[in-house]
Amino acid sequence: LVRGGSLSKNIDILRKVIERGLSLERCIIVTDDRHPDDLLREGHLDPAIRKAIKMGIDPVKAIKMVTLIPAQAYRLSRIGGIAPGYYADIVLLKNLESVSICKVFLKGELVADDGKVLIKLQTPQYPAKYLRTINVKKTPTKDDLAIISPEDAEEVAVRVIGVQEGSLITKSLTERLAVKNRRVLPDPSRDILEIVVVERHRKTGNIGKGFVKGFGIKRGALASTIAHDSHNIVAVGADLDSLETAIKEVIRIGGGLVVALRDKVLAELSLPLAGLMSIESIENVVQKLDLLNNKAKELGIKIRNPFMTLSFLALPVIPELKITDKGLFDVILFKRVNVIIQ
C-alpha cells in the first residue's frame, strides 16, 4: 500500500518500483487520513493517480491500482472493473492523463455530472448516544495539567516527542527545561511545548503529560478529540492557561478542534458525532477549518497540518515516542517511560 493522505505521503516510493522494473500488480494506492479541505480542493484518490502518472506509470495501470487491484485484494468480486455481473459503478474521464472527472455512475444511475451532484442525498438521523461522547471525570484545570518535578531543582532533563513534518514517525529527544515552584516549564523559544492527553470515554480521570518539539507555537494552544486510535482529548500548548482554555472548550462543544490563547477561544470546529465527525456540509467544515488553521498560524504554527499531526502523536504503535492518557510510550522499547529522566 502506498499512501497519498494529507499527512501520510509515500507515493514517491513507486519510483523505486519503476526503476527496478518490478511489477505493479500488487501495488495499491490509498489515501489514509485526508482532510476535508484537501478533499474539497484537490480530490480524494485522483491527485494520487495524477502523481503516479507523472512518475511515468501507465495511466491504465495507475487507475488499476485504485480500482481492480484493491477489489481483488479484499476479494470483492463484483466491483473494481467493468464486466458482466459487476456493479455499474463507473467514472468517465475527460482526459486520461489529467484524471479530470466528467461523469459518475452508481449502479448504472448518473449521480454526478461535471462536478454537480444530480441526486438528493438523505440527511442521516444519528442516535443520541453518539452525539454525547465526552465523558470526563472532571474538566482539568491548569494545576491538573502541570508537570511536577519530583525534586526541588532549577532544571531537569526530560523526554521530548520530536515531530517530523510529513511523517507519522517521531523522534525520542532529550532536552533540559527550567523548573519553577516544582513545575517543569515548556520553552516556546526553543519550540518545546507541553502536550497532554485527557481520557474522555470512561471517566477515569487519566491525564498523560509530556513535551513535544516541532510545532513552532510561540503562544496559545490547540486541542482536539481526534487522537488515533483511542480518540481521547489531545492538546498542545505554550502555557497552561491556554491549554486549560482549549480543553475546557473542546469538552463544552461536545468534541472537535479548538484554538485558544490564554483565556480566549480564537476558533473552533464542533465535531458532535462521537467527537470525530461534523454533521455540517463539507463547505461549512472547510470554512471553519481554514479559520482554525489561520488562527493556529498566528500562534506561530510552522507545520501544514497541525491538527492531523497532533492526532497521530497519541498513536502508540508508530515509532519512536508517543503519548497516551497513561503517559509517554516508547514504541521501540515497547513500554511506558517517565517524562522526567532521573
Express each pLDDT in 101-127 by its tens digit: 999 999 999 999 999 999 998 888 999
**Domain contains 215:** yes
Assess whether 70 and 203 both reside in one domain: no
| Mean pLDDT (whole number) for 83-95 | 95
Amino acid, single-letter form, for residue 65: M
Q: Specify whether 94 is located in the same domain as 146.
A: no
Dist. CA 125–CA 118, nearest whole Å = 22
Do 331 and 184 lie in one domain? The reply is yes
Instruction: Determine the average pLDDT of the residues in 58-66.
Output: 96
**C-alpha gyration radius of the chain:** 23
Clarify whether residues 26 and 150 are in a common domain.
Answer: no
What amino acid occupies position 81? G
| Same domain assignment for residues 39 and 150 | no
Task: Please list the residues that pair with 324 across neighbouring strands.
Answer: 327
Amino acid in the structure at residue 59: P
Mean pLDDT of the 319-323 span: 98
Domain total in the chain: 2
Band (pLDDT 50/70/90 cuts) for residue 33 is confident
Are 247 and 237 spatial neighbours (Cβ–Cβ below 8 Å)? no
Answer yes or no: do 253 and 320 share one domain: yes
> Which contiguous run of DSSP H or E holds residue 156?
strand 155-162
CB atoms within 10 A of CB 76: 12
Is residue 132 in a domain?
no
Residue 95, in any domain of the structure = yes
What is the average pLDDT value for the chain, to the nearest integer?
95
Give the type of residue at 170: T
User: What does the alpha-carbon distance between residue 338 and residue 312 come to, in Å, rounded to a whole number?
Assistant: 20
pLDDT higher than 90, residue 275 = yes
Same domain, 71 and 207: no
Kindly report, residue by residue over 199-218, the tens digit of the pLDDT: 999 999 999 999 999 999 99
pTM for the structure as a whole: 0.91
The answer to whether residues 222 and 187 touch, using CB atoms and an 8 Å cutoff, is no
- Burial level of 314, CB count in 10 A (0-12/13-18/19+)? buried
Q: Is the pLDDT of residue 94 over 90?
A: yes
**Which residue, of 101, 117, 133, is where some domain finishes?**
117
Confidence of residue 8 (pLDDT cuts 50, 70, 90): confident
Residue 281 binned pLDDT confidence (cut-offs 50, 70, 90):
very high
Per-residue confidence band for 7, with pLDDT thresholds at 50, 70 and 90: confident
What is the pLDDT, as a whole number, of residue 10? 87
Task: Report pLDDT for 218.
Answer: 98
Q: Which residues does 53 contact at the CB level (< 8 Å), separation at least 6?
A: 59, 62, 97, 99
Rounded Cα distance between 32 and 254, Å, is 25
Q: 107 and 183, same structural domain?
A: no
Determine, yes or no, domain membership for 130: no
Residues 173 and 281 in one domain: yes
Give the whole-number percent of the chain exceeding pLDDT 90: 90
Q: Grid coordinates 498542545 are at which residue?
A: 236
pLDDT level of residue 231 (50, 70, 90 thresholds): very high
CA–CA dist 270, 135 (Å, integer): 16
Q: What is the mean pLDDT of residues 316-335?
A: 98
Instruction: Check: CB of residue 224 under 8 Å from CB of residue 253.
Output: no
State which of 83, 117, 151 marks the end of a domain. 117
For residue 223, tell me if it sits in a domain.
yes
Q: What is the extent of the structural domain holding 260?
A: 142-337
pLDDT in tens, 146-196: 999 988 899 999 999 999 988 899 999 999 999 999 999 999 999 999 999
Predicted confidence band of residue 55 (pLDDT cuts 50, 70, 90): very high
Band of residue 220 on the pLDDT scale cut at 50, 70, 90: very high
Give the residue among 95, 94, 91 at the shortest CA–CA distance from 82. Answer: 91
* DSSP code for 140: P
Instruction: Specify if 129 maps to a domain.
Output: no
Beta-carbon contacts of 116 under 8 Å, excluding residues fewer than 6 positions away, are none
Query: Does residue 342 carry a pLDDT above 90?
Result: no
Name 269's bridge partners.
Answer: 257
Any domain includes 170:
yes
